[in-house]
Structure 1
Amino acid sequence: MKQRIVWILLGFMVFMSSVVMAAPAENAAPGSRIKDLLAEWRKGDVKPATGNRLPGKVGLVWQPRLDDATDMSEAERIDCINVVSPCWFRISSEDGTMSHAALSPDKDYVKKAQKKGYKVWALVSNSFDPDMTHRLLANPAGMKRAIDEIMQAVKKYDLDGINLDFENIEEEDRDALSGFISRLGTELHKENKTFSVDVTFPGGSPNWSLCYDRGAIAAAADYVMVMAYDEHPGGSKYAGSVASIGWVENGVQAMLREVPAEKLVLGMPLYSRIWKESDGVVEDVETLWMEDADRLVREKKLARVWDADAGQYYFEYQKNGQLCRVWQENARSIALKASLISKYDLAGAALWRRGFETADVWPVLAAELENSQR
């Protein structure tokens, strides 16, 4: 009798094991199945379908805010821009839930922008939350849901593509991130949509640079947008340029060791920073739009000096006992950086962000993009 009971129990255990192994990943209990699925996600070796790149150079501008003067769907068309990226979505939970960012998605915006001749690649961020992102990338069901929700948004708003902006990620999640990007690229390409991914230059910190496998990302995406700015970020202890020309060019050269030139888009800043120092120590920093920098020079009657090493104008002044220092981004510095597009035959330009620029930026950018296509 005991032997019969043992055989019955063994049979039941084998049956239950087969049920668990056959269960969908999102319903699987912790154990070997989950480990297998995570290993699959971390491989990052799923090959995307044929991509969907533009016939010419990319001219993209990000749009995180709207007003009458800068709304890309309403304002007069900018000839050198062929893509707008409204900053609409963010993954807000480890279960893959996607929510709206500060700017709400708007189908009318898409229709109007497309009518003006722009492609619309909506931005999706990870909220720059490393802990949430770590849990998401350890959760196959969460990654699947995130991809499903992105694809639903693509269809709902009739988007031309997606710009993925995942930043501040644990270095240990590098392979899992590549796997997520690869699968998202596959789904987007099934719908003939363009996929671009934002990264930083190689060689930085674990959370802001070492977390990216740029070669794997380039294999999965149509474009890799390198954010060639924040050489001296807002929290820096030292004053300096946001994007000096030498730093940018060295970064481009490093990127090209991992990313094909025909996929690499050069991201450029439309802003500067005021560094406020006392006794040589940075005490405060303020973001400065191009128009505000010009206004400062006019109102304070400041003398600007061209800093050839930085590829920018430099000026300084005293206020409230502090030395205020600025390496200024303007049309001349943008033209100099944009010349790297033709020098290295890059895929185009991206600018952060709409509303920070002065109008003279667009003609010089147009000239450099036109020169790069000759």
Structure 2
Amino acid sequence: MDTPNPLAHGNRFQRRYYRWALPYYERFGREDPLLRERVELADIYLYSRQGLGAWAGWLLCLLGGAAWLHGNGMGLGKALAAATTIMLGLSIALLGAWLKPHQKPRRVVGGFMGGMAAGIVAMLLGVSVGRALSGKSLDLGSALTALQASAATLIPLGLSFALLLIGVARAGRLARERQLARLQLVAERDAAARTAAEADLRLLQAQIHPHFVFNTLATLQHWVDRRDERAGPLLRELTGFLRRSTELLGRPVVPLADEVQAVRHYLAILTARLDGRVQGEVHIARNLEAELLPPGLLLTLVENAVEHGLEPKIGGGLLTLAACREPDGRWWLRVDDDGLGLADDAEDDVGLANLRQRLRHHFGERARFTLQRRTEGGTRAEIFITPEPA
């Protein structure tokens, strides 16, 4: 199911029933995931307020059947027992036809009709044997009359049940087909989202690397030509950045520690290139280093802060990357800069739009991204992650 089973968090009876039924749900899921979903939906309906009408109708049918049998000469206790047996059998058969409509209800109907015919014959033979053992002669006319009366009652009931069973099975097949179509649509949407995210990631990689790398190479070439001693350290940082970022962007998820290391290379290169005008600080809680993220998220935030806030600012500024976990398990990533600040008409560029999409695809509703002005000047970009429910 797409949503948690509400019985697991319902009243005491619902929770107890869910714990009892959970092993069966899991077994059904191993056999057929669609069957598990259908069984859970049926239970949710029957064991909530929505199902009170179904239970009331079932009880009225049972009492009506018992009253009819009692009115035809059967004792009250026997009438209730017989009506209960019939209703349970009917309910199980109809539920089976609904949950497993692919099991050809004709066979079930044929078995039921055959069993009913065998029961009539057995009743006739029993009457005959009983009369023979008691020394009475077989009254063929009375036996045929009893057989006719039984058939007149049982055959219409059997045919009505057969038509009902076929109708329920047909409705079950249609519901299962709609269920399959829905799951297929969801799978196609997920595949399309993954394809789009991968395409956007390649686009993001193509956008970040040339702009940043070409500027760094130009600086490096200038320093090499002048035999500037800063060329060697810059080349090492550039090599480390390219190696680290290329490895990251080739994986679906990466540990936060690896992403932070790529950001350190990036900031070291900027500090060298801009003669110290841009300074970077990194403060990451140790208990977050193993958390997994889609690759390139921090690089996107840092690159956006530098490009739109710090580089255009006269005199440069400070960029701070921080990450911390709250006592309730939530954690956040924050990129602060004291640059020019967020423009009034600012809109997401391709990188930030890509970041929002990939956060939504990877974390769903558990992730939230904000971009806002800081009261002390500059911009704050923040990602909040809520842990998965236990």
Q: What TM-score, normalized to structure 2?
A: 0.21
**Which structure has the higher relative contact order (CA within 8 Å, separation 6+)?**
1
Larger radius of gyration: 2
Name whichever structure is richer in helix by fraction.
Answer: 2
